[in-house]
Amino acid sequence: MSANTFDAPRRDTCAPSRAARELGLKRAELDLAVQLGRIRTVPDEGGGGGRRVEHVEIDRLRAEDGFPESLKERVWAVGTAEGAALLDIPVGRFTRLARLGLLVPVAFYLNRYRTVVWLYLAEELRQFVLVPENARLLKGRTPETLRGQLAAGVDLRARNWRGRHMGFLLRQAEDPWARAGAVAAFLAPVEIADVVKDPYERAYLNRFRPAPPGLGVPGSASAQVAERLMTARDADEIGWLRSDLARLIEEARSAAPAPRPGIRRVEPPFHMVARPIPPMARTVTGPQEEPTSLPERAARASESVVRPTTSPVVRSHGPAQRAPSRSARGLRAWLRRRSPRPAEPARV
């Protein structure tokens, strides 16, 4: 028997951390590649709820020209300073273009000062430069309409990121309830409760609501910032999210209604089970005629007395004797008082 007989068969999928090592990527780069659709994943069949990467997909990426530099180039994300350098513009102009929604962030993280740092895909920045209509935005004076929006405080970075992230979540959803949960992830709980009236459906929907990326410890400052960026703020954005959620809830309800708790009969504890009541000595089922004569009254009174079924037992150290009556005990005591015993002589 050869040694290969005992070799375990090769698994068809691997964990994301293992896939990142085999592809020469960092874990954050792998996650970004999955969100952008550069790397295909499959659901975890083990029931963990995560995603896994097939070995066939890893082999496909390795066979591409220029691997691994070509793959890293497609998932290269830069901050504001690096992005401004790629576009050859000042940092301030880059920030204004991002606030106006002309440059869409692809991810974010919080630095040590709890400040949001937006990341942009370098590949998209290069494509922005190649568009002729964008040349006047990179050089020269900003148009008056755009300057008015900036003066009004317009900042579309978080909204554009939410739209991009929702597209990723919808691509990962595989059933109607998961698609409804992807949309509900961007609404406040009060908005969800206003759209989904049934509490059982809301509880079931919350199971499919993805958490914000980089949430951290629940209740921490980082988690609060992530939840704020994940929640829609503008009235028009909230309006179409509510409309989409109502439509998806109808589809999910038709496909598979939300589970509800069944009515089960709960047996009471043993000490709470009712005991049968013993029968009474005499039960009167209806009104009886009251006797008028004295003999009848005496007979009725004697019948109403509940007499014991057994005679009392007198315990004694000697042989069993008949318990003396009260009259016999009284006569014996009277005789002892009448004729007391003679005094015994003292013993020498």
Average pLDDT, the chain: 81
Q: Model confidence over 122-147: pLDDT tens digits?
A: 999 999 999 998 988 998 888 899 99
Q: Could you give the maximum distance between any two Cα atoms of the chain, in Å?
A: 147
| pTM, to two decimals | 0.70
More confident residue, 214 or 18: 18
According to the model, what pLDDT value does residue 300 have? 59
Closest CA to 118 of 164, 172, 71, 158: 158
* Residue appearing with tokens 């059982």: 200
Tell me the helix, strand and coil percentages in the chain, rounded to 5.
Answer: 50, 5, 45
Q: Where are the domains of the chain?
A: 14-74, 76-155, 156-257
Closest CA to 105 of 125, 85, 135: 125
Closest CA to 121 of 110, 111, 106: 106
According to the model, what pLDDT value does residue 322 have? 53
According to the model, what pLDDT value does residue 17 have? 93
Long-range contacts of 126-134 (CB under 8 A, 24+ apart): 126/86, 128/87, 128/102, 128/103, 129/86, 129/87, 134/102
User: Do residues 182 and 206 make contact, with C-beta atoms less than 8 angstroms apart?
Assistant: no
Residue 267 has pLDDT above 70, yes or no: no
Q: Report the alpha-carbon distance of residue 52 to residue 58 in Å, rounded.
A: 11
Phi, psi of 107 (to 5 degrees): -165, 175
Q: Report the alpha-carbon distance of residue 319 to residue 307 in Å, rounded.
A: 27
According to the model, what pLDDT value does residue 314 have? 46
45-59, 190-204, 231-245, 284-298: lowest mean pLDDT where? 284-298
As given in the structure block, the two tokens for residue 234 are: 């503008």
97-111, 127-141, 324-338: lowest mean pLDDT where? 324-338
51-54 vs 116-121, strand pairing mode: unpaired
H or E element: which one contains 109?
Answer: strand 107-110
Residue 339 has pLDDT above 90, yes or no: no
User: How far is the first Cα of the chain from the last one, in angstroms, to the nearest whole number?
Assistant: 112
Confidence of residue 7 (pLDDT cuts 50, 70, 90): very low
Confidence of residue 219 (pLDDT cuts 50, 70, 90): confident
Which CATH number is 14-74 given? 1.10.1660
